[in-house]
Amino acid sequence: MKRTILLFLFTLMFINAFSQWAIPRQMRAENTLDRLSDRNGLGSNDLLYGLPPSPGGVKGSFYLNDHWNIANIMLVDSEKLLEGYAVKYNLKDEELEVRSKTGIKILDAKKIKSLVWKDSLTQSVRYFVNAGDYTEEGTPLRGLLEVVADGKMPLLKRTYTSLQDPTYIPAFDVGSRDAKILKKTAFYHASGNVLTKVTNKKNLLASFGDQSADMEKYMKVNQLSVNKEQGLMRIFEYYNSKFKE
């Protein structure tokens, strides 16, 4: 009888000790250990059930340039220049961030008449004007327009942003979880304060009036495309050179 009781108590102690092991039994199972030698691991389409996917973020920037550029600023209703300030232009909010000794100041684009900055990376000089001075199909624009080529018929560029939704598909574990900020551009030529969007070669040539034949020849000889900024700049520089002050 005593031997039976002792055997029973020993069995309970063994079970209790087993249940207190730090490593769960499933982790010590032979087939689990064997899988550690499988270098392939999870396949690209395997899902970790019970583990939420990492949250996506937003990639990209709302700034026209992410770096600071030294600029001169002319305000609306003022001929006085604010000179030598480091600036960045926020396309989304249509605001100019101005770095000063007392911190970052915000200047609404509608208060800016004209702006010129020297790109701190490329050293190129870029000019901007208030988009509110121009209309497209009767509607005033907002923000700043970059002057690509100036003269009788200026070529202006509008840069704007859009947000691309994440492309992630959980069922297949493919795509990106991040939203992306995309920068897009549109080009216009100006007649007075009226803007016309550059859409194709035919419509552009019609805008040149009695100079259209010469402009078409110039574009053909120089192999200039209306779909590229560099080509458009050369086209308008040539056209405007005919009407120098």
Read out DSSP for 52-76?
Answer: PPPPP-EES-SBS-SS-EEEEEEET
179 in a structural domain: yes
61 versus 59: the higher-pLDDT residue is: 61
Q: Is the pLDDT of residue 185 over 80?
A: yes
Predicted pLDDT of residue 51: 52
8 in a structural domain: no
203 in a structural domain: no
pLDDT-derived band at 79, boundaries 50, 70, 90: confident
Whole-number percent of the chain with pLDDT over 90: 60
1 in a structural domain: no
210 in a structural domain: no
207 in a structural domain: no
Q: Considering its fold, how many domains does the chain have in total?
A: 1
Mean per-residue pLDDT for 163-191? 82
The residues, any chain, with a CB within 8 Å of residue 100's CB and separated by 6 or more, are: 85
Q: Is the pLDDT of residue 177 over 60?
A: yes
Residue 158, beta-bridge partner list: 186
Q: Is the pLDDT of residue 209 over 90?
A: yes
Q: Smallest Cα–Cα separation from 113: which of 84, 134, 92, 90?
A: 134
Is the Cβ–Cβ distance between 60 and 184 less than 8 Å?
no
End-to-end distance of the chain based on CA atoms, in angstroms?
122
Positive or negative, the CA dihedral 167, 169, 173, 177 is positive
Query: Six-digit token pair at 166?
Result: 């994440």
Mean pLDDT for the chain overall? 83
* Residue 78, helix vs strand vs coil: coil
- d(Cα 217, Cα 132) in Å, to the nearest integer? 35
68 in a structural domain: yes
Mean per-residue pLDDT for 147-156? 95
Q: Is the pLDDT of residue 35 over 60?
A: no
Q: Is the pLDDT of residue 234 over 60?
A: yes
pLDDT-derived band at 174, boundaries 50, 70, 90: confident
Mean per-residue pLDDT for 220-241? 96
Query: Six-digit token pair at 51?
Result: 């583990």
Predicted pLDDT of residue 11: 54
Q: Could you tell me the residue range of the domain that residue 94 belongs to?
A: 58-197
Q: Please, is 189 exposed, middle or buried when counting C-beta atoms within 10 Å of its C-beta (0-12, 13-18, 19+)?
A: buried
- d(Cα 215, Cα 210) in Å, to the nearest integer? 10
Q: Is the pLDDT of residue 94 over 90?
A: yes
Mean per-residue pLDDT for 92-116? 94
3 in a structural domain: no
